[in-house]
Amino acid sequence: MDNLDYGIIGNCKSAALVSKNGSVDWCCLPQFDSPSVFGKLLDDNIGGSFGFEVDDSYQITQKYIENTVILVTKFSNGLDVFEVRDFMPRYYKSAGSYHAPPEFIRYIKYISGKPTVKVNYNPKLEYAKGETKTYVKNDFIVSLTDNELFDTLFLYTDFKKDKIVDGEDLEIKSDHFFLVGYHEKLFVPSLETVVLEYERTKVYWLNWMERTTTFKSYNKQIARSAMTLKLLSYDKTGAVLAAITTSLPETIGEVRNWDYRFCWIRDASMVIKVISSLGHKNMAKRYLKFIINLMPDKDEKLQIMYGINGEKKLTEEFLEHLSGYKGSSPVRIGNAAYKQKQNDIFGILMDMIYQLLLNFNNDVEDGESLWNITKGIVWVVNKHWQEPDKGIWEFRSEDQHFTFSKVLCWTAVDKAIKVAKLLGKTTKLARWQLLEEAIKDDIMVNAWNDKAQAFTQSYGSEDLDAAVLLMESYGFIDAKHPKYVSTVKAIGRDLSNDGLLYRYKNKDDFGLPSSSFTICTFWYINSLFKIGEEKSAVEQFEKLLSYSNHLGLFSEDLDFKTKRLLGNFPQAYSHLALIETAINLSKITKDEKVKGSLS
């Protein structure tokens, strides 16, 4: 079965996807949202890739070096064995900065025998829009395009450069390297310098993981997800990406495909909340700076999403020359959703600010800015909470009174009150508490549907929505409240399909949804656990974990029948929900799990 069998490598500046056969099929340089230099993922024929060809006697296996994001692809026919160790350099330099150049390294580790390999090096710059020409020079191989825009890419190696460009067989008798970089190097790399980069990068990730909280159950999955979320963060500004890809479809052959190489305030704030609970302050501080820089004034100038450098205009375009992933066009760059109004982002942002103040005590710079933002958010919510919006799922049709949006407006005020108490600011409390009560009463009356016996997607609707499960997580309602228990059970009955959940089943702008949104299944498992169905939650969680790819990575969606990974990859949403669910479930000891499964 075709699947998103890729590993991610990266250095918090950019990232690349390496297939289970060792082919780099997606990489944008010099940063995450730059045009692709390898884009086979979006067009098999013209996208461009960098892989290795061996004969059929070889078995290819792949894994990460434990507690790192160094990806090892092993080629073995028993006698002849070598490994490709892929990574993007990242390590700490003096004066608080990081070495994270726009390049990736393929360190060829000789193991045994006389392995023979052909290198397929085929870069296609600027999304393969025009012709990319490749030339052999003294120190490097250079690829360039000057069709619409001028761009270059450099390959350094200690193999014979002519043989690589001509696609000739190479015999591996010792260690070698490839370095693919956006810039021409001032000093020509050697095997020794590459090994040093490798060791330093390895130590960086081992140190990062050592600072990560450990858990008695599911620690391996939590660790891999935490590293993946770290790879989706952009050091320069503190932005966090939803995914590193664009236009991977929710369903093969359909048009539901979007560019996710941007920072959604919702996704990013949820990521930061989870990562800070694992002990990582730097990511949280960088992201707070990003938010503070976006909100320089005291009025409501917060979009739902931004470019990773804070860009506000993300105009959507089609790349019609690319056929799309498995023929699923159009390929989009940019995202028209940036213009949407989604009232839930204020609650999600406020929740994160509260958690950070709680986790890091007084060790948060910019306390005054955060208090300003807090006051600004309550002002905006007070002014707009009664208005309809596009909701968490970004419906492109008419605005509605979405239950999730209303609950998050309540959350914004609830967490603002808690922040005010933490900071000793009490003058506004009475007014804010009245607002909080008014929003809660409105939701309890208008979001509940007697016929569905559940809180529904929007006021006056009978449609169910998995996002409503988060009412309990945000503290709006107790897990044992009869109306919440009834909602969880109704969503399980109505939205579950072979153990996976729909976001919703009602028609949207593109027809009826036909794949499972992975985060929703995690939310449902979490909710089952909270209402006391712990045994069922653990069983369903372990089944869901088995649907990851061979490296434990998840995309945005899953096919109900085949369990194939679909949608953009790897997806921040899926991995943050995995961590949250695993942390909750790891509170049960293994003995209790065994006891539960026998009862």
pLDDT in tens, 431-478: 999 999 999 999 999 999 999 999 999 999 999 999 999 999 999 999
Locate all alpha helices (DSSP H) within 455-571, ordered by sequence: 470-473, 482-495, 518-530, 534-545
| Least-confidence region, from 139-143, 335-339, 425-429, 594-598 | 594-598
Q: Pick the closest to residue 45 from 25, 65, 67 (CA basis).
A: 25
Instruction: Tell whether the model's pLDDT for residue 589 goes beyond 50.
Output: no
**Confidence band, pLDDT 50/70/90 cuts, at residue 255:** confident
Average pLDDT on 36-50 reads 98
Strands 103-112 and 116-122: unpaired
pLDDT value for 598: 26
Q: Pick the closest to residue 31 from 269, 227, 208, 241 (CA basis).
A: 241
Average pLDDT on 482-493 reads 98
- In tens, the pLDDT along 495-554 reads 999 999 999 988 766 566 778 999 999 999 999 999 999 999 999 999 999 999 999 999
For residue 191, give both structure tokens.
Answer: 């095997």
The answer to whether the beta carbons of residues 388 and 401 sit under 8 Å apart is yes
Return d(Cα 320, Cα 129) in angstroms, integer: 10
pLDDT value for 299: 62
Return d(Cα 32, Cα 10) in angstroms, integer: 10
Instruction: Tell whether the model's pLDDT for residue 412 goes beyond 60.
Output: yes
pLDDT value for 508: 66
Return d(Cα 105, Cα 321) in angstroms, integer: 29
Q: Where are the beta strands (DSSP E) in 221-277?
A: 263-264
Sign of the C-alpha dihedral computed for residues 339, 343, 345 and 346 taken in this order: positive
Whole-number Cα distances in Å, 469 to 224, 347, 520, 524, 531: 26, 15, 9, 7, 11
Q: Pick the closest to residue 120 from 251, 32, 25 (CA basis).
A: 25
Scan for tokens 């949006």, then name that residue.
Answer: 405
Q: What is the pTM of this model?
A: 0.94
**Confidence band, pLDDT 50/70/90 cuts, at residue 597:** very low
Average pLDDT on 126-136 reads 95
- Residues with Cβ < 8 Å from 332, sequence gap 6 or more? 246, 247, 257, 258, 259, 316, 317, 318, 319
Q: Pick the closest to residue 14 from 25, 29, 26 (CA basis).
A: 29
